[in-house]
Amino acid sequence: MPVTVRLPGALREATGGETKLSASGATLREIIADIDRRHPGFASRVLDDAGVLRTYVNVYIGEEDARSHGGASAKVPDGSEVMIIPAMAGG
Amino acid sequence: MIDRARIVLPRALREELIAHARESAPQECCGLLLGDGEAVRRVMRCRNVHPAPETRYIIDKAQLFEAFRASADFDRELVAIYHSHPRSPAYPSPTDRAEALWPLAGYVLVSLRADTPEVFAYRVADDAVREIPISEG
């Protein structure tokens, strides 16, 4: 069963304008790779060159912060809702 | 797509921003201006969790998550992100420009450097800054 990925318009350029996508995978990394296959470049907006979640990107699996569950290796249960939310920061 | 050419900020909510900035000084305050399109209907004060809050801000990600999750159309509801500059002008700093990841939202800055606080709004994207007018309604 695929998962639903929600993201704000701030990331829409990386998904061809879509802000709600269906994706498949058992881990967050696999989910991101699945979206990247359809929207090349998406993964680089979320993961750094080492495959780690970027500092200024927050990801939730349901109500859980993915960083507290292994980051990109976090397991994503079937039917979950994944939310990818850029940080709000400055100086 | 929402293209905010201005922000409608009622006087009472503008005063709320200034009050938050004053209460937080010398640290920077931060939060969300929520409403519909260009019109701000409420101020959501957020926690500044940056370890150097006198010169930097990061909105508490838990608060951001709750606001995002609760909204059926966050891009429309998020009119602007605000923060204060206790000692510098109400203009996006190099850090503000470098860390601006929400190109559809306005960025509202409150400066306390003068006796009379200043409040200005901008669109910030790809390191480019464009001021947008604020009206009271």
Are B61 and A83 inside 8 Å of each other by CB? no
**Is residue A57 within 8 Å of A48, Cβ to Cβ?**
no
Is A90's CB within 8 Å of B59's CB?
Answer: no
Between these two residues, B49 and A13, which has the higher pLDDT value? Answer: B49
Q: What is the mean pLDDT of residues B96-104?
A: 94
Chain A residues near residue B81 by CB distance under 8 angstroms: 88
Asked about B28 being catalytic, the answer comes back as yes
CATH of B7-135, one of 3.40.140.10, 1.10.3430.10, 3.20.20.70, 3.30.930.10: 3.40.140.10
Q: Does domain A3-86 have CATH number 3.10.20.30?
A: yes
pLDDT tens column, A17-70: 999 999 999 999 999 999 999 999 999 999 999 999 999 999 999 999 999 999
Residue B126 has pLDDT above 90, yes or no: no
Specify burial of residue A2 (Cβ count, 10 A radius: 0-12, 13-18, 19+): middle
Q: Which chain A residues are closer than 8 Å to B57 by Cβ? A: 89-91
- Minimal-distance CA residue of chain B relative to A86: B101
Domain locations in chain B as residue ranges:
7-135
With CA atoms as reference, report the closest residue to B54 among B86, B102, B83: B86
What is the model's pLDDT at position B2? 74
The pLDDT mean for chain B works out to 96
Residue recorded with tokens 């979206």: A35
Give the whole-angstrom CA distance, residue A54 versus residue A46. 6
The whole-angstrom separation of Cα B119 and Cα B11 is 11
pLDDT value, residue B31: 98
Overall pTM > 0.90? yes
pLDDT recorded at residue B1: 63
pLDDT of residue B3: 79
Task: Tell me what pLDDT residue B137 has.
Answer: 79
* pLDDT of res. A39: 97
B22-76 pLDDT tens trace: 999 999 999 999 999 999 999 999 999 999 999 999 999 999 999 999 999 999 9
| Chain B residues within an 8 Å CB radius of A60 | 65, 69
Backbone angles phi, psi at B109, to 5 degrees: -115, 140
For chain A, the structural domain boundaries read 3-86
- Give the pLDDT of residue B22: 98
Q: How confident is the model at residue A3 (pLDDT cuts 50, 70, 90)?
A: very high
Among chain A residues, the shortest Cα distance to B85 is held by: A91
